[in-house]
Amino acid sequence: MNYEPAKLDDETVSKLREFEEQISESAGETVILIAYTDQESSQ
């Protein structure tokens, strides 16, 4: 598999950051979400 960073618009990035905050609060530690696309399946 070949993964590339996902190309996300500003609204989607903002939503991911909100999810990071929510998950971090629940987990009690900092959680970072990273978005990739599978280049093989998108061809």
Domain positions in the chain: 3-38
pLDDT given at position 18: 98
If residue 36 lies in a helix (H) or strand (E), which one and from where to where? strand 36-38
Tell me the per-residue pLDDT of 1-43, one tens digit each, with 9 for 90 and over: 799 999 999 999 999 999 999 999 999 999 999 999 998 765 5
Q: How far apart are the first and last CA of the chain?
A: 12
